[in-house]
Amino acid sequence: MVRSAIEARSRVRRVTPLKAAAALGILLASIQAYLLVKWVAGPNFAEVSYGPTVPPTWMKVAILTVEVLSTAMVVVLVYRFVVLPFRRERRIPFDGLLVLTALCVSMYDPLSSYFHVWFAYNSYFFNRGTPMVGMPGWQSFNEPGAQIAWPIFFIPALYAGMFLGIPVLGCLVMRRARSRWPQLPNIGLLAICFITIVVIDIVLEGVVVMRLGIYDHTGPSIPLLDSYYSHNALANIVLVAVTITAVTALRYFRNDRGETLVERRSEQFGRSRARSSTLRFFAVFAAMQMCLLLGYHVPMAIWTTINPNSAWHEDMQQNSYLNDHICGVGTPRVCPQE
């Protein structure tokens, strides 16, 4: 009995944070692989066209430029933060794992529209609909060629840049705040980080990106910042800041080995760096999924359920390239209006 008890305690000790998070990551990756195969092999792998409304020339040029630059950015980020470190050390640093996992979880970007479509991408982007309509129980309107037009050559790159660049800046802000106010509690650091990211999102997403006609939202916004092609929903601003603050906290709070919460006890693998990096990838993948799911997708899905008839912005109703053929011009369906 004594021996059995010792073996049981040994097994418990072997279940480390890294192994537990990696196991969850492998499960989530399996689900994602299933959704991808179902999407590519099924009828929903169909282009959402931009017609009958034709985007203005400046918008076409902007979108094509964004696709080219986004693809180039992914190549640079993967080479700089994944390939080079692995060639030098046979190990992928946390920032490299952030880039890889951000590319992967970008597929879930439309998941917040599980119950009601509350935003739409410009369907002039190269797209084949979205794999999210294959989620069990998906309730938003969708048909092949009439669903959220996930931009294949833009959103993954956006996620990679956003979930690396903003947390790096957020960590810098928190280090400066800690240096300036040594007694400031961690919750104060996170509050400063959150406010910083709110400002970043208002400027970059609402004032810059959305004014190019890349995508648009429904729901309450900041009227002063709105334009014909820009309507950044308040719920989006808050939840983006919550989510990226969580990822920033994961990057900032590390132990004396430089390990994040989900990577701890990776030293048990000794020189087996390939196995360690693989498990660390799945662990960080699980953490990213949880940050997005709990910080953004679930709260936004609940919000759209509480407010199912939020008015669609004028540009979404009047332009088929911004309504993804869900409602408005080019469809027999009327969009929710004020």
Report whether 84 contacts 99 (CB < 8 A). no
Residue tagged 């409602």 (tokens): 327
Query: Which DSSP symbol is given to 88?
Result: H
Nearest-angstrom CA–CA distance, 56 and 173? 40
Q: Considering only residues 62 and 9, tell me which one the structure prediction assigns the higher pLDDT.
A: 62
Instruction: Determine the pLDDT at residue 15.
Output: 74
Is the confidence at residue 7, as pLDDT, over 70? no
Report whether 214 contacts 63 (CB < 8 A). yes
Question: Given pLDDT bands bounded at 50, 70 and 90, which one contains residue 11?
Answer: very low
Query: pLDDT tens, 133-146?
Result: 999 999 999 999 99
Nearest-angstrom CA–CA distance, 327 and 310? 13
Is the confidence at residue 259, as pLDDT, over 60? yes
- Domain ranges in the chain are 47-322
Angle at CA 78, nearest 5°, toward 238 and 111? Answer: 35
Question: Given pLDDT bands bounded at 50, 70 and 90, which one contains residue 275?
Answer: confident
Closest CA to 118 of 47, 216, 43: 216
Is the confidence at residue 49, as pLDDT, over 60? yes
Instruction: Determine the pLDDT at residue 5.
Output: 47
Distances (CA, A) of 231 to 215, 225, 245, 314, 327: 9, 8, 23, 10, 18
Pick from 18-27, 232-241, 263-272, 275-284: least confident: 263-272
CA 43 to chain centre: 25
Query: pLDDT tens, 87-113?
Result: 998 889 999 999 999 999 999 999 999
Query: pLDDT tens, 292-303?
Result: 999 999 999 999
Q: Considering only residues 74 and 225, tell me which one the structure prediction assigns the higher pLDDT.
A: 74
Over residues 65-74, mean pLDDT: 97
CA 40 to chain centre: 21
Angle at CA 43, nearest 5°, toward 38 and 48? Answer: 110
Is the confidence at residue 203, as pLDDT, over 90? yes
Percent of the chain with pLDDT over 90: 80
Question: Given pLDDT bands bounded at 50, 70 and 90, which one contains residue 332?
Answer: very high
Query: Mean pLDDT, the chain, as a whole number?
Result: 92
Instruction: Determine the pLDDT at residue 258.
Output: 81
For residue 143, list its beta bridge partners: 146
Count how many residues are written for the chain. 338
Question: Given pLDDT bands bounded at 50, 70 and 90, which one contains residue 192?
Answer: very high
Q: Map 216-264 to HEC letters.
A: EECCCECHHHCECCECCEHHHHHHHHHHHHHHHHHHHCCCCCCCCHHHC
Question: Given pLDDT bands bounded at 50, 70 and 90, which one contains residue 282?
Answer: very high
Over residues 61-81, mean pLDDT: 97
Alpha helices, DSSP H, located in the chain: 2-14, 17-41, 57-78, 84-89, 94-105, 155-180, 186-201, 234-252, 273-292, 298-306, 314-318
Nearest-angstrom CA–CA distance, 229 and 56? 12
